Chains A and B, each alone.
Chain A
């Protein structure tokens, strides 16, 4: 099934999406990857506030290539999501509703997705030039010293993703493979 959705992604929107659905996202999303997640975790451990508004937020795991003059961003495809598994459950419990990345997630993340009625999307890995066309603006909002790993706010239009893990915990990476597997 195909959906067009607007951010912020609420639990109501998240629960309407099912594993295997094709989704076009429009609106504001955040970008953060390894080093930014580590800093956010350190801030929380110290009792400080997060630098982003986490309620109903969507975080895209991505580190762009530099933008050419006159363009909002360079190539901008997803990075491997499992590297953020250590941090994702805590952010989901604090209100994050959607993650965009690629690759498998661990059971703790799947539990946190179900517990918080959230969703995990995959974008097509390696298609950074294509995906950058859907990014209309990009602004570094904190941790600028991290370069490609800084936290950014993006405005995306019809950004194409696929629901991999839905709010019931169904996982497309596990189900879809079985359909095409030929046992040797």
Chain B
């Protein structure tokens, strides 16, 4: 059994909120950098260079990469041998968000009620997904999600007869509809299978997977490559102003499903695809 104090969780989460909003992961960074070499549109290259410059300024001036510092989404893996000593894990995570978003000059974008819309002024509550695993570690992944791209995400409840062709069409439809609204070049997270909500959760979790970590199932890997090419052939380009770099990556997660269904969720992310993981 390993005992963890809530104060440690608060501090780590707070620091994660600030870090995630100031720096992109190495794989995101290098994809963005390399895209300038292949982009065919002159305006597109200009925009990609500006995005690169934006990352450097954010780092130097300690300003968030994007003013929409998002709703804080967490994936938490709790080892079965972990014990939180002095309070609730959910409360500790929310306290970390409160501290990080306030001390880090991050925008508070969360309203307490979807209709009454009163800003909570501290970016809480977070959206938290828990999973129990073996071991004595607490693994926390934070993915702050801006809503320019979140609003363009979709779930399709396809029929089994729609098959892989139906899946491809669903992904392309979502990306085409998103167009310039989702701040391309985008990262496209896809969840195939499970149930209505499981597909959406997989699509979001797929956004946090490193581009270097490729799927082990051959058809999934092939589908990622094919969809990246097809999306880049749409012509949407950087900023949606035309070009050959519409997406930087397509990450697909899959799960078992029911004989009667084929859920497909597409969670679109902008080029500010932020995620950070810490283990306690």
Contact = CB atoms under 8 A, between A and B. Distances in A.
Interface of A: 20, 22, 35, 62-68, 74-77, 79-80, 82, 102-104, 122, 124-130, 132-133, 146-148, 160, 162, 164, 172-173, 175-184
B98 interface: no
B241 interface: yes
A39 to B, nearest CB: 12
B236 interface: yes
Given A77-B67, A132-B63, A126 B54 contact: yes
B225 to A, nearest CB: 14
B205 to A, nearest CB: 22
Query: Is the contact region of chain B dominated by helix, strand, or loop, or is it mixed?
Result: loop
A184 B148 contact: no
Given A79-B148, A180-B242, A126 B65 contact: yes
Nearest to B244: A180
A102 B152 CA distance: 14
B151 to A, nearest CB: 7
B57 A124 contact: no
B107 A125 contact: no
A176 B47 contact: no
B154 to A, nearest CB: 16
B237 A180 contact: yes
B183 interface: yes
Given A65-B105, A68-B105, A177-B235, A103 B63 contact: no
Interface string B147-179: 010010000000000000000000000000001
Nearest to A76: B67
A74 B105 contact: yes
A177 to B, nearest CB: 4
